A and B are shown apart, each in its own frame.
Chain A
Amino acid sequence: MGSEIIVVIVVATALIFDFTNGFHDTANVVATSISTRAMPPRVAVTYAAILNFVGAFISLEVAATVAKDVVQIEPSSVGLLAVFGGLVGAIAWNLITWYFGLPSSSSHALIGGMVGAVFVAYGSDAVFFEEGIIGKVMVPAIVAPVLAFIVGGLAIVVLYRIVARLRPGPTTSGFRLGQVLSGGMLALAHGTNDAQKTMGVITLALVANGSISEETFHVPDWVVVSSATAIALGTYVGGWRIIKTMGSRIHKMDAAQGFAAQGAGSTVILAASHVGFPLSTTHTISGAVIGSGAAKRLSAVRWGVAGNIVVAWILTLPAAALIGGLTYLLARAFGTGAVGPIVVSALIVAGTALLFIRRSHQGAAPGVVPATEATR
Chain B
Amino acid sequence: MIASVVDWDAILQVIWVSLAAGVGLTAAWGFALLGSARAVQFGRDGRLPGAVIYAAVGAAGFAAVLGAIVFGIVILTGD
Contacts and interface: CB of A to CB of B under 8 A. Distances in A.
Interface of A: 58-61, 130-131, 134-136, 139-140, 143-144, 147-148, 150-152, 154-156, 158-159, 162-163, 166-167, 170-171, 174-175, 178, 181, 185, 192, 259-260, 263-264, 267-268, 270-277
Given A159-B27, A163-B30, 19 more contacts: A58-B73, A58-B77, A59-B79, A143-B11, A148-B18, A155-B22, A158-B23, A159-B29, A163-B33, A167-B37, A178-B29, A178-B65, A264-B18, A268-B18, A270-B76, A274-B17, A274-B75, A274-B79, A277-B14
A175 B65 CA distance: 13
A178 B72 CA distance: 17
Contact of A166 (B11, B21, B23, B34): B34
Contact of A277 (B2, B10, B17, B72): B10
B21 A158 contact: no
Given A175-B33, A268-B14, A260 B6 contact: no
A166 B41 CA distance: 10
A136 B7 contact: yes
Contacts of B77: 58-59
Contacts of B63: none
Q: By CB atoms of chain A within 10 A, which of B7, B25, B72 has the most?
A: B25
Contacts of B26: 155-156, 158-159, 259-260, 263-264
Interface in B12-50: 13-15, 17-19, 21-23, 25-27, 29-34, 36-38
B38 to A, nearest CB: 8
A143 B37 CA distance: 37
Contacts, number: 125
A134 B22 CA distance: 26
B53 interface: no
A170 B34 CA distance: 10
A54 B30 CA distance: 28
B34 A263 contact: no
Contacts of A166: 33-34, 37-38
Nearest to B33: A174
A311 to B, nearest CB: 23
Given A140-B11, A154-B23, A271-B17, A134 B5 contact: yes
B76 to A, nearest CB: 5
6 contacts: A147-B18, A151-B19, A151-B23, A174-B29, A274-B13, A276-B10
B72 A155 contact: no
Contact of A272 (B14, B22, B25, B29): B14
A192 B76 contact: yes
Contacts of A135: 5-7
